[in-house]
Structure 1
Amino acid sequence: MTTVSTAVEAPHGPGGPHAAASARQVTKAYGAGETRVIALDAVDVDIALGRFTAIMGPSGSGKSTLMHCLAGLDTVSDGRIWIGATEITGLKDRELTRLRRDKIGFVFQAFNLLPTLNALENITLPMDIAGRKPDRSWLDQVVETVGLADRLSHRPAQLSGGQQQRVAVARALASRPEIIFGDEPTGNLDSRSGAELLTFLRRSVDELQQTIVMVTHDPVAASYADRVLFLADGRIVDEMAAPTADSVLDRMGRFDGKRTS
């Protein structure tokens, strides 16, 4: 008996071959009736392949919700989402789990490292669970890019916070996902460790052709991206190419002024 997958494959998603992820008319609502809250309001967006995209906005603007929906961590109320050529909207739980495992990497504020495993074992853990052997040359390249070559035998307790987050980044990169999502990945780091992590993310885009989407509230963090998307009230209201910390801060200040006026 042949099992037919409900994943919809096409030559490419609606954003074309240069889009790593796409959303069309995506709406996310919570509650019903008078308590209904619109977190995302008919959002259209394409995430460029091999580029670093930052998502910013005031608290409650929908930025984390957008990232969670794009990554298949949350369902949408309406609209459609693609990862590459695969439409993920409406996938069964098992198919969605497989897609996230095979095509998506995640880096969050919490490092989520297992204390009994050393750095290398933590990096390869998702592949070990999936029963797949890592590509050794790629793994070596990732380890070198994030500067962990001399720390692979150390357990998390023997690493600084910045080094632990680098292990988490390497883990996300090691399986060669199509796209990596980061939700405030520098949120628990001091400024020096945060700058190191952002430099590694930037290098992974420039040297490893990785695609990264990062939610952040920090203009300095956003300045490492190629493009910044600004959300307000569940909608993408602006975007900026080649951002600097000052230009992002200025743009955010204008949004805050409009919201308070």
Structure 2
Amino acid sequence: MTNVSTTAVTAKGLSKVYGRGDAEVHALREVNVAFDTGAFTAIMGPSGSGKSTLMHCLAGLDTVTAGTVHIGDVELTGLSDKQLTLLRRDRIGFIFQAFNLLPTLNAEQNIRLPLDISGRQADQVLFDRVVETVGLKDRLSHRPSELSGGQQQRVAVARALISKPQVIFADEPTGNLDSRSGAEVLSFLRTSVRELGQTIVMVTHDPLAASYADRVVFLRDGSLVTEIFRPTPQSVLDTLMKLEA
């Protein structure tokens, strides 16, 4: 019997340097971190701590200066641009702050887009379950302009889930939403982890958003400094305040 990896994403000795000489900026300094399969993890830290850089390196959206990144058993850092593009298409889902929906397509077409691009058929049972989970059943024929911000982000969440990616990276997914819509989207993300076994890694600056995660890892000055499990808004806030002191 083969061992199935319980780790979705692993970074070892991850460093990222921008610029040279006097203009050199160490965005990440030898970060070692692993993200479990079927878990919801938040990445937090003060402004400029390197959290977005870390996510971009983990997702293969940015190159690394040193160290390695694995998605499952595949090492990203050794792949060509074409191989990276295929891996991101087939094994990674993305949710951005700005929704990134195509305005000319309706909600259903936007959700199915990653599958259409890769020439794959939708798993209709999964499609129905995802649409039900994110509460969009009666909104599938609506275009983004006919949807609220919260509904648009739910379309983006469904789009990320539908291709059954190994991991979903969410970059400030509630940044453009009011508190009620934000709470709905975070609940859907948590449900997708609990019920669909999805793996989610989310960058956020919001202690309330982070409290929906199973675990929060904290960066400061490009280094991983601490982590907490079963976070509450207060425990996240307390940890952030210590880091900024």
TM-score (normalizing by structure 2): 0.98
Question: Which residue of 1 is the match for residue 114 of structure 2?
Answer: 126
Tell me the distance in 2 between the aligned counterparts of 1:115 and 1:77: 37
Q: For residues 153-195 of structure 1, what are the alpha-carbon distances to aligned partners after superposition, in whole Å with 9 as ceiling and x for unaligned? A: 1111111100000000000000000000001000000001000
Deviation of the 1:221 alpha carbon: 0.2
Counterpart of 2:13 in 1: which secondary structure? strand
Question: Which residue of 1 is the match for residue 220 of structure 2?
Answer: 232
Q: Are 1:23 and 2:20 matched, yes or no?
A: no
Deviation of the 1:90 alpha carbon: 2.2
> Which structure 2 residue ranges, 5 or more long, are not aligned?
none
Residue of structure 2 aligned with 1:73, choices 57, 61, 70: 61
Question: Which residue of 2 is the match for residue 48 of structure 1?
Answer: 36
Counterpart of 1:98 in 2: which secondary structure? helix
Counterpart of 2:41 in 1: which secondary structure? strand
Tell me the distance in 2 between the aligned counterparts of 1:219 and 1:140: 32
Tell me the distance in 2 between the aligned counterparts of 1:178 and 1:130: 16
Q: Are 1:61 and 2:84 matched, yes or no?
A: no
Counterpart of 1:111 in 2: which secondary structure? coil
Question: Which residue of 1 is the match for residue 171 of structure 2?
Answer: 183
Tell me the distance in 2 between the aligned counterparts of 1:233 and 1:195: 29
Question: Which residue of 2 is the match for residue 7 of structure 1?
Answer: none
Question: Which residue of 2 is the match for residue 152 of structure 1?
Answer: 140
> Which structure 1 residue ranges, 5 or more long, are not aligned?
1-10
Question: Which residue of 2 is the match for residue 6 of structure 1?
Answer: none
Tell me the distance in 2 between the aligned counterparts of 1:240 and 1:25: 21
Tell me the distance in 1 between the aligned counterparts of 2:226 and 2:167: 23
Aligned residue identity for 1:90? G
Report how many residues are paired: 244
Deviation of the 1:122 alpha carbon: 0.4
Question: Which residue of 2 is the match for residue 222 of structure 1?
Answer: 210
Deviation of the 1:133 alpha carbon: 1.1
Tell me the distance in 1 between the aligned counterparts of 2:138 and 2:161: 18
Deviation of the 1:132 alpha carbon: 1.1
Tell me the distance in 2 between the aligned counterparts of 1:139 and 1:177: 14
Deviation of the 1:129 alpha carbon: 1.3
Residue of structure 2 aligned with 1:93, choices 63, 81, 85: 81
Q: Are 1:111 and 2:130 matched, yes or no?
A: no
Runs of 4+ in 1 over 4 A off after TM superposition: none
Question: Which residue of 1 is the match for residue 162 of structure 2?
Answer: 174
Q: Are 1:251 and 2:225 matched, yes or no?
A: no
Residue of structure 2 aligned with 1:38, choices 20, 26, 35: 26
